[in-house]
Chain A
Amino acid sequence: MTAATGAPGAPEVQATRGMLPAAKPRSMFRRGLEVFLENKLAIVGVVILVSIFAFCYLGPLFYNTDQVHVDLANENLPPVPGHPLGTDQNGYDVLGRLMVGGQISLEVGLAAAVLATVVGTLWGAVAGYFGGITDAIMMRLVDALLAIPTLFLALVVVSMFPPTETELILVIALTSWLTTSRLIRGEALSLRVRDYVQAMRVMGGGSARAVFRHIAPNAIGTIIVNATFQVADAILLIVALSYLGLGIRPPQTDWGGMLNAGINSVYDGYWWQIFPAGIAIILVVIAINFIGDALRDAFEVRLQRR
């Protein structure tokens, strides 16, 4: 199998290299990188995101708090020297909770986005590559699922059994791969008739090779840009589920859970129980959107140069 399919691939690479000046692929990448780095908002986005990751994962090493045992003697404290951001209604330190909660929000967001992107890419690439009746059936199924707003689908599934972190990732991924699959199907429809795919088929390459080696890699720009926005959407979806009381179970929490808990006492003026988590969510989502926009510009430059 490897020998049979490996042989047609190799001359193709050779041929491509022979036709283009040797430095060109690298310069396209570099040009894309330059466009990305020229974008000031993208740099701001990267800086915000890196800082928040450092805050959530390195922060607990320097700022150690008990986030498991309820401490009712110290509930609802305003910001004081021992608790820079005060405590919540269970006596948890808000600054420390922001760190551990952030870990869950970021992990679930990233993992769900990656999973949704993989499933969506494969589904869309297969549908677009085969076309005809396969495409019609696969895409009508996507249309049907898309007709149900993600939040409702996730809400129904999650309300039936309280989720762990892994289950939350699965639920969010399984309800958000649909838009990705639509985008990739569009790409696959135009990519499958390209000469290099046709040539590979004539030389005896199989469908699997076409999808995995040619269609998916050539749609990489669309895939990466879409995956970036998926992370932001996933984080907002967990927040919404947590707000509806259907997120991670205590004593674990995420930023949405912190907001949900804080809202009950916000009328008492305990502003420190909602603003830190709310601002953290907004910062992360804005940063991801900045990066996604810049990536789209960078990949568009690469496509223009082709």
Chain B
Amino acid sequence: MIGFLLRRILQAAIVVLLVTMFTFILLRAIPGNVAVAILGPSAYRNPAALAQFNAQYGFDKPWFSQYLLWLGHLLQGNLGFSWTLDQSVASLLANRLPKTIILVGSSTIIALLIAVPVGLWQAVRRNKEVDYIFTSLSFLFYAAPTFFVGEVLILVFSVKLGWFGPEAAQGGTWNDLTDWRDMVLPVTTLALVSIALFSRYMRSSVLDNITEDYVRTARAKGASGKRVLWRHVMRNSLIPIATLLGLSIPGIISGALITESVFNYPGMGLLFYQSAQKQDYPVLLGFIIVVAIATVVGSLLADIAYAVLDPRVRYA
């Protein structure tokens, strides 16, 4: 187990390093002059200013030295400086990350609380009306583009009914709790897609388990149907869900990007989108690294959770 853990962590570190290298090369290879983007088109008439800008930020060096310079800063916790927002990337991320974690975290928890019982119910009532209704709903929300769901929710619950705000909470992290009315629609939007995915996995996972021998054994020993379902089937069916949760982090964060744009929620997704439009490289790089680490850690945790939860899995 220890050997497996060490190997997995080493692999994860290599992957993160590759991600930084790859994104750096990609961003530097793309046409566009950073100095002109920052100083404005009139800078073309002032070559001295361009040269000074390039020297100051290290753009006159070859890309590989630029990468090493940037990586060295990264190891010291310095993610660079956003030119367009006039702030350090670390402080930007420190402001925005908690907002996204609140959005993503609360919607994922709500999604799990709904999807697990629904999937279990569907499996027990397989091919009955309930199953068909929820299967159709999950197909519907899985197929619907996230922003379309968001806009329809705004149209119905905000414009027509006026129950919730059309825009997410704008203030600091605490405002998300005090302005919970404004957070209902963004969290619902993101949760609906996750519910569709999780409940389908839960349903098939329960169906796999319900025919296993241990279920028959438990029944034969006199355990009630309810007990078998909740104690035996449910616990074993949650194992793939734990893995799915770890692996669906990139998908949920992508959903958060769209959701944040729809509801103008000042999280990481909105920041990334705005920075991409302004070609603000340091922010994009810092962001991609945070997301990549989250993804790599997520799949690492999924592997470990799988080994811990399922006694049949043994890594050599």
Most A CB within 10 A of own CB, among B32, B145, B254, B276: B145
Whether B19 lies near A144 (C-beta < 8 A) is yes
- Pick the contact of B145 from A143, A281, A290 — CB < 8 Å? A281
Residues B135-152 near A (CB distance < 8 A):
139-140, 142-148, 151-152
Q: Pick the contact of B139 from A141, A259, A289 — CB < 8 Å?
A: A289
Q: Per-residue CB proximity of A125-155 to B under 8 Å, as 1/0?
A: 0000000000000001101111111111001
Task: Verify if B46 is at the interface (C-beta below 8 Å from A).
Answer: no
Q: A261: which B residues are within 8 A, CB to CB?
A: none
Which chain B residues lie closer than 8 Å to A189 at the CB level?
none
Query: Which residue of B151, B155, B273 contacts A155 across the interface (Cβ within 8 Å)?
Result: B273
Q: For B142, what are the chain A residues with a Cβ–Cβ distance below 8 Å?
A: 285, 289
Within 8 Å of chain A (Cβ to Cβ): is B174?
Answer: no
Cβ-defined contact, A149 with B254, below 8 A:
yes
Complex CA gap A286/B143 in Å reads 6
Q: Are A232 and B143 in contact (CB under 8 A)?
A: yes
Contacts of B19 in A (CB 8 A): 144, 147-148
Kindly name the residue among A152, A266, A267 whose own CB sees the greatest number of chain B CB atoms within 10 A.
Answer: A152
B251 lies within 8 A of A149 (CB): yes
A108 at the interface (CB under 8 A from B): no
Given the complex, which residues of B lie within 8 Å of A278, measured CB to CB? Answer: 144-145, 148, 152
Contact A152 B147 (CB under 8 A): no
Is A111 an interface position by the 8 A CB rule? no
Give A278 to B251 CA distance when docked, in angstroms: 21
Contact pick for B291, options A141, A152, A232, A274, CB 8 Å: A152
Cβ-defined contact, B140 with A282, below 8 A? yes
Encode contact with A along B231-275: 1 for CB under 8 Å, 0 otherwise.
Answer: 000000000000000000011011001100100000000001100
- Asked whether A282 lies within 8 Å of B272 as measured between CB atoms, the reply is no
With A149-B253, A274-B148 in contact, do A144 and B22 touch (Cβ < 8 Å)? yes
B6 at the interface (CB under 8 A from A): no
B165–chain A nearest beta-carbon distance, Å: 14
Contact B250 A149 (CB under 8 A): yes
- Evaluate whether A240 and B258 lie within 8 angstroms (CB atoms) in the complex, with A156-B284, A256-B145, A289-B143 already known: yes
B130 at interface, CB cutoff 8 A = no
CB<8 Å pairs between A and B, sample of 21: A140-B18, A141-B18, A143-B296, A147-B291, A147-B295, A148-B250, A149-B295, A152-B257, A156-B276, A157-B26, A160-B32, A243-B261, A259-B147, A259-B148, A263-B147, A281-B143, A281-B144, A281-B148, A282-B148, A285-B144, A289-B143
Taking Cβ atoms with an 8 Å cutoff, the residues of B that contact A are 11, 14-16, 18-19, 22-23, 26-27, 30-32, 139-140, 142-148, 151-152, 155, 159, 250-251, 253-254, 257-258, 261, 272-273, 276-277, 279, 284, 287-288, 291-292, 295-296
